[in-house]
A and B are shown apart, each in its own frame.
Chain A
Amino acid sequence: MRARVLLIAVALFALLAASASAHPLGNFSINHLDRLRVSADRVDVTYILDQAEIPTFQERGLSSDAVLAKKRAEVERGLVLTVNGARVPLAVAGPGQISFPPGQGGLKLTRVVLPLVARVPGPRSVQFHDGTFPGRIGWKAIVAQPGSGTDVHSSVSSGDPTSGLRSYPKSALRSPLDERDATLSVKPGNGSLTAPKGPDQGEATTHNRSGDGFAGVFADAAAGRGVLVFFLLAALAWGAMHALSPGHGKTMVAAYLVGTRGRARHAVALGATVTVTHTMGVFALGVVTLLLSQWILPEQLYPWLNLVSGLMVVVIGAAVLRKRVASSQFRVPSHHHHGHHHHPADGGRRTADISPKGIIAMGASAGLIPCPSALVVLLAAIAQHQIALGLLLITMFSLGLAATLTGLGLVVVYANRLTSRINMSGRLVAALPAVSALVIVGAGCVLTAHALPQLVLRVMLAGP
Chain B
Amino acid sequence: MAAVFAVALVVFMLVNRGSRVHDTVSDADNPAALVGASTDTRIKSFQALVRAHPKDSRGYGLLADAYLQKVRETGDASYYTRAGAVLHTALRLNPRDPAALTGASTLALARHDFRGGLDYAEQARMAAPYVVKPLGDIVDAQVELGRYAEARRTLHLMVDAQPNLASYARVSYWRELHGDLPGAIRAMKLAVSAGGQAAENVAYVQTLLGNLYFTVGRLDDSREAYRTALARFPGYVPASAGLAGVEAAHGRFSIAIRRYRDAVARLPLPQYVVALGETELAAGRRAAARRDLALVGAEEKLLQANGVNTDVDLALFEASHGSPARAVVLARRAWAQAPSVRSADALGWALTRAGRPAEGLRFGHRALALGSRDPMFLFHAGLSASAAGRAGEARAYLARSVALNRRFSPLYAPRAERALAEIAGGRLQVTG
Contact = CB atoms under 8 A, between A and B. Distances in A.
B204 A13 contact: no
B77 A19 contact: yes
Interface stretch (A23-31, A153-161, A442-450): A23-31
Interface string A4-36: 111111111111111111101111110000000
Contact of A218 (B31, B82, B169, B265): B31
Interface in B356-400: 374-376
Nearest to A24: B78
B50 interface: yes
Contacts of B194: none
Given A22-B305, A373-B11, A377-B11, A14 B37 contact: no
A293 B57 CA distance: 23
A17 B161 CA distance: 31
B86 interface: yes
B219 to A, nearest CB: 12
A17 B9 contact: no
A380 interface: yes
A223 interface: yes
A203 interface: yes
Nearest to B18: A245
Contacts of A223: 52
B206 interface: no
Contacts of B201: 9
A219 interface: yes
Given A19-B303, A208-B44, A26 B77 contact: yes
Nearest to A215: B45
A54 B110 contact: no
Interface stretch (A296-304, A319-327, A344-352): A296-304
Contact of B71 (A7, A13, A227, A384): A13
Given A214-B35, A238-B12, A384-B3, A15 B235 contact: no
Interface stretch (A38-46, A73-81, A169-177, A414-422): A169-177
B255 interface: no
A235 B12 CA distance: 8
B295 A58 contact: yes
B372 to A, nearest CB: 10
Interface string B288-324: 0001000100110111111110011100100000000
B78 A29 contact: yes
Contacts of A462: 160
Interface string A223-259: 1000100010011001001100000000000000000
B50 A389 contact: no
A384 B131 CA distance: 13
Nearest to A25: B78
Nearest to B96: A383
Contacts of B313: 2-3
A280 B136 CA distance: 33
Q: Contact size class for B?
A: 35 or more
B215 interface: yes
Given A213-B45, A218-B2, A383-B96, A17 B25 contact: no
B271 interface: yes
Interface string A274-292: 0000000000000001100
Interface in B37-60: 37, 40-53, 57-58
Interface in B76-113: 76-86, 89, 94, 96-98, 106-107, 109-112
A255 B58 CA distance: 45
A105 interface: yes
Nearest to B309: A18
A37 to B, nearest CB: 29
A425 interface: no
A453 interface: no
Given A2-B376, A216-B48, A376-B25, A241 B16 contact: yes
A12 B204 CA distance: 12
A152 interface: no
B21 A212 contact: no
B48 A1 contact: no
Nearest to A299: B21
Interface in A144-201: 172-176
A298 B130 contact: yes
A5 B238 contact: yes
Given A13-B75, A27-B77, A218-B5, A136 B266 contact: yes
A231 B75 contact: no
Interface centre among A1, A175, A213, A376 (most CB of B within 10 A): A1
Contact of B208 (A8, A21, A135): A8
Interface stretch (B121-129, B224-232, B416-424): B121-129
A9 B121 CA distance: 15
A377 B12 CA distance: 9
B199 interface: no
A385 interface: yes
A54 B245 CA distance: 23
B48 A176 contact: no
B156 interface: yes
Contacts of B169: 8-9
B32 interface: yes
Contact of B130 (A22, A28, A222, A379): A379
A175 B9 CA distance: 28
B281 interface: no
A289 to B, nearest CB: 7
A15 B96 contact: no
22 contacts: A2-B376, A9-B166, A9-B204, A18-B303, A20-B81, A25-B78, A54-B295, A58-B268, A58-B295, A104-B305, A215-B48, A218-B5, A219-B48, A227-B5, A231-B5, A242-B15, A294-B129, A297-B129, A373-B24, A377-B7, A384-B58, A464-B156
The 9 lowest CB-CB distance pairs between A and B, nearest first, are A26-B77, A293-B129, A215-B45, A172-B85, A16-B77, A105-B301, A105-B305, A213-B35, A380-B7
Given A216-B45, A380-B128, A389-B4, 10 more contacts: A1-B375, A3-B342, A6-B173, A24-B81, A137-B75, A173-B63, A219-B48, A297-B129, A373-B15, A393-B4
Interface of A: 1-22, 24-29, 53-54, 57-58, 61, 104-107, 135-137, 172-176, 203, 206-208, 211-216, 218-219, 222-223, 227, 231, 234-235, 238, 241-242, 289-290, 293-294, 297-299, 302, 372-373, 376-377, 379-381, 383-386, 389-390, 393, 461-462, 464
